[in-house]
Amino acid sequence: MSVLTAQPVNQFVAKDYKSDLKPIWCPGCGDFGVVQAIYRALANIGRAPHEIAFVSGIGCSSRIPGYTTAYGFNSVHGRALPIAQGIKLANPDLLVLCAGGDGDGFSIGGGHVAHVVRRNIDLTYIVMDNQIYGLTKGQLSPTSRRGLITASSALGSMEGPVNPLMYVLGYGASFVAQGTPADMAGLASIIEEAIRFPGFAFVNVQSPCVTYGQEDQLLKAQKAMMQPLASLNHDPANRLAALDLAQAYGEKLYTGVFYRNPDPPPTFEALVRLRQEQQRPLAKSRADVLNVFRLKTP
């Protein structure tokens, strides 16, 4: 038995989830705050690192699995969700988290989002949304605002931005939230709540890029403009109200839980287990028939 296994539940602290690998993000990057919030959330959850699997795609934010002591899988661009689903189905007892950026999640990987939502697999998807492709030197991303001048739009973007909150709410996600590393305590609380939710949980994190991002998106600006949904007396059980608030993406920075389904559907892995239990008697009866046939065969 390992030392980690022997520890009682909730006896872990944030540093227990921090690996020896030093982050190489740009100084001041919002992802530093995101990974710290994840450490805090996991410590409050109290699961041992070897009971957690972290999956990511490609991008600055996708380095996170390497900065944790959990099992980690750094996959190809846009394919973190399918791999995370496979891990959860293969070992439903693992706590599975998925990390990526807005480009990874809503461009090349955008087609996977609808299907993980409709299956309602119990995993937490944390998207670090900086409205730019930071790792590949500042091109437009799916969430870049119209008119933005970037390395790939010298005359300004002609495209409207994807609204991640509206996307996942429209697909029918049962847990949708947004946070910012400008509010570390709030972000850690949101991530913890997402992990505890029994089903697919989506957390959009406004994590600014200090190298290629816009001045009005940096942490200081976010701290001034953020508005907790709790201060609006928002009821997270009200999906229509959540959709209405989500329309302000890109104009206002609402933080907190937009929607939490008070009666979430069963998770896909729970239905798989049920189907397996239902099939066992049938499999046994088929085996009995084959055994009889073998006895009668010379």
Tens digits of residue pLDDT in 128-171: 998 878 877 778 788 888 877 778 788 888 888 899 999 999 99
CB 161 within 8 A of CB 150: no
Q: Residue 37: which of 142, 178, 143, 220 has the closest Cα?
A: 178
pLDDT at 280: 77
Is 129 exposed, middle or buried (CB count within 10 Å of its CB: 0-12, 13-18, 19+)?
buried
Is 152 exposed, middle or buried (CB count within 10 Å of its CB: 0-12, 13-18, 19+)?
middle
**Inter-CA distances, 290 with 98, 104, 265, 279, Å:** 44, 50, 39, 17
Paired tokens of 193: 């709540």
Q: At what angle do helices 80-90 and 110-119 cross, to 10 degrees?
A: 30
pLDDT at 284: 66
pLDDT-based confidence at residue 55 (cuts at 50, 70, 90): very high
pLDDT at 258: 98
pLDDT at 9: 54
pLDDT at 295: 60
Antiparallel, parallel or unpaired: β 175-179 and 253-260: antiparallel
For the chain, where are the alpha helices, taking DSSP H only?
3-6, 30-45, 80-90, 102-103, 110-119, 164-171, 184-196, 219-225, 239-246, 268-296
pLDDT-based confidence at residue 10 (cuts at 50, 70, 90): low
- This prediction's pTM: 0.89
CA 266, distance to chain mean position in Å, is: 19
Antiparallel, parallel or unpaired: β 71-74 and 52-56: parallel
Residue 92 has pLDDT above 90, yes or no: yes
Residue 104: half-sphere exposure toward Cβ, Cα within 13 Å? 32
Paired tokens of 128: 């670090």
pLDDT-based confidence at residue 67 (cuts at 50, 70, 90): very high
> What is the rounded average pLDDT of the residues 184-191?
96
How far apart are alpha carbons 279 and 265 in whole angstroms? 22
- CA end-to-end distance (rounded Å), the chain: 50
Residue 278 has pLDDT above 70, yes or no: yes
pLDDT-based confidence at residue 177 (cuts at 50, 70, 90): very high
Paired tokens of 244: 């209405």
Residue 232 has pLDDT above 70, yes or no: yes
CB 66 within 8 A of CB 25: no
> What is the rounded average pLDDT of the residues 95-116?
91
Residue 212 has pLDDT above 90, yes or no: no
For 172-238, where are the alpha helices, taking DSSP H only?
184-196, 219-225
Residue 2 has pLDDT above 60, yes or no: no
Residues 6 or more apart whose Cβ sits within 8 Å of residue 287: none
pLDDT-based confidence at residue 12 (cuts at 50, 70, 90): very high
Least confident stretch, 152-156, 184-188, 258-262? 152-156
